[in-house]
Chain A
Amino acid sequence: MLTFNLSIPSQLMAALLPDLILMGGAMLLLLFAVWRRESLAHQRLVGLLSIALSVVTLVAVVVTMYRRGTAPPGPIAVDNFRWMMDVIILLGTIGALALGIDDNDRVGTTTAETHVLILLASSGMMLLAAARDLMIVFLGVELMSISVYALAGLNRRSVRAAEGALKYFLLGAFSTAFLLYGIALVYGATGATGLAEIASRIDANDLASSPILLIGIAMLLVGFGFKVSTVPFHMWAPDVYDGSPNPITAYMAATVKTAAFAAFLRVWLEAFPAEFGSWHRAVAGLAIATMVIGNAIGLQQRNLKRLLAYSSIAHAGFILVAIAAGTSQGASAMLFYLLAYTLATFGAFAVIIVLSRGDVAATTDDLSGLWSVRPWLAIAMTVFMLALMGFPVFGGAGFLAKWFVLKAAIQAPQPQIALAVVLVLTTVISAGYYLYVVMVMFMRPRSESASTPMETPAWTQFVMVSCATAILVLGVMPEYSVRFANVGLPRMAYRRPPGDASPPPPFETTRVR
């Protein structure tokens, strides 16, 4: 057990070591990427080096986690929640880089710097996972978003990509302004930007119903709502996902959302536990709207990327249920949910990459009769769809993820029965499109005109197989899943909402370590 004193620069650097490795490595790779003439071999090399750098960072994260460091409240957090979030973010980064290498070999839209942009976005995300100060939250959000704006418009030959990138940029910048105004008002109400300090000042100065603080929290909610694409701030997501290159879409749908949720949860539970009564209803309302509308519109989609876009909106609603529970148990449920969701999303996009031709997005018609030509591809897609739906056993980790969220919602000190009911009902609705995809692959005949999908490239196959394996293994060995979820339990102060005398949630007793 070692304690980092964050006011000493060298110890602050030690606590930020994995982030610094990724950032420094990304800078060096950027130099290397532009050093030589643009060629396919060079691009591939930069991609491989980027994957290697992500793996090194992953190792550094795991090593740091096992040293079990802690830190007093400061600008960054040193806890398992951060390290587990980093693991999920880095897995997503490796997935995006691997898919990007193959996609580039085929479509040729990528330049060598693209891989570096992904690394820079990921370092912003790791900063978000670590942020314990609103200033760091802002810097992390921007480092992530600005890189992803550029990534969305990567394919300069495609007018659709340019449109998607412009929409993403304008709405992203708009939402950032809301986030920032929220930060400014919270700072104005409490005089602090550190999360722990904000919470203690709210308590000490009895600010719980200060109008400036409440407006600030509402603005922050709007800002985060845009970033994680909750209804009614979701309008950009399907268009942007549709326009972007496939690997980037997977990265945006899974990893960007993971990082945004990490910061969202930490800010909400660490800075505003005393405001639970005020924000709880708003978050619960957003969750219900997002689950219902995301799944309902998802039913009408035939374009696979748009279908997954609405699915990702719906999943944002499911994850919000975990935040609305307002407990550490909810936080660990969210952590596992994000892992399962990341695995399933990257797997599904790997299949889409194999199916799509050029700039045209794959539709459900491209899937019909896939079983008869590419049985393993069809089986893999089935696993990912069932995981996204949360189907027992065959959906593997996806089922457990939903189960943990449901449990967190019901066992919260204020049981979220309504949210739990909506979650179950909308999961049934979502079967309408997830199972439709499965049905089309296995029961429709292959049309005469349909071309046989290309051979799966090596890296895409690697992503597909490892995602499917991880989903199934985590699904049939729930003790590992429980362990994963519990290792990441954040050390967050839990405080009961005023007027509530129920006992604290029983998460400490379930801790496995």
Chain B
Amino acid sequence: MLAESLFFSAVLFTIGVVGVLTRRNAIIVFMCVELMLNAVNLTFVAFARVYGVAGQVFVFFVMTVAAAEAAVGLAIIIALFRHRQTVNLSNINLLKG
């Protein structure tokens, strides 16, 4: 079980990384980050089967923090949308150099 879970979470994490690096929509990029975080959660749960409860406690922390992060992140995305009427990262180019 452990090897399969770890492999699966590594695949999920990689999908998330590739998504962040290739997608251009801020919301999709953010969803890819969440995918990465959940891949980590899966890793923690898998290891918790071996080492005991600490890994599962960590998962609760990660979920709580991810929710807080989503609240702030979506607010920032909305703030930008009010200025530019788009959340496409290719159009975000005022700051350069």
Contact = CB atoms under 8 A, between A and B. Distances in A.
Given A184-B47, A187-B54, A242-B95, A173 B33 contact: yes
B69 A180 contact: no
Contact of B26 (A166, A183, A242): A166
A173 B43 contact: no
Interface string B23-55: 000100110010011011001101100110011
A339 interface: no
Contact of B84 (A146, A156, A159, A192): A159
A139 B46 CA distance: 21
A142 B36 contact: no
Contacts of B1: none
Interface of B: 6, 13, 16, 20, 26, 29-30, 33, 36-37, 39-40, 43-44, 46-47, 50-51, 54-55, 57-58, 61-62, 65, 68-69, 72-73, 75-77, 79-80, 83-84, 92, 94-97
B37 A142 contact: no
A177 B95 contact: no
Interface string A154-174: 001001101111110110011
A166 B33 contact: no
A243 interface: yes
Interface string A239-253: 100110000000000
A191 B51 contact: yes
A156 to B, nearest CB: 6
Range for the number of chain A residues in contact with chain B: 35 or more
B33 A177 contact: yes
A311 interface: no
A164 B79 CA distance: 11
Contacts of B96: 239
A173 B16 CA distance: 12
Nearest to A181: B40
A286 interface: no
B43 A238 contact: no
Contacts of B76: 149-150, 153, 162, 165-166, 169
- Chain B at the A interface: SS class: helix
Contact of B13 (A139, A149, A181, A301): A181
Contacts of A170: 20, 26, 29-30, 33, 73
Contacts of A167: 92, 95
A239 B72 contact: no
B75 to A, nearest CB: 8
Contacts of B13: 177, 181
Which 10 pairs, one residue from A and one from B, show the smallest C-beta to C-beta distance? A177-B36, A239-B95, A191-B51, A159-B83, A162-B80, A184-B43, A188-B47, A173-B33, A142-B65, A180-B40
Contact of A164 (B44, B61, B95): B95
Contact of B79 (A153, A173, A177, A188): A153
A226 interface: no
A42 B43 CA distance: 48
Contacts of B36: 174, 177, 181
B80 A184 contact: no
Given A142-B69, A184-B47, 6 more contacts: A163-B92, A177-B36, A183-B58, A184-B43, A188-B47, A238-B97
Nearest to A306: B97
B23 to A, nearest CB: 11
8 contacts: A135-B54, A135-B58, A138-B58, A142-B69, A150-B72, A163-B94, A169-B72, A191-B50
Contacts of A165: 76, 79-80
Contact of B73 (A139, A169, A183, A188): A169
A193 interface: yes
B79 A184 contact: no
A364 interface: no
B96 to A, nearest CB: 8
Contacts of A239: 95-96
Nearest to B59: A184
A184 B26 contact: no
Contacts of A173: 30, 33, 69, 73
Contact of B94 (A159, A181, A191): A159
A191 to B, nearest CB: 4
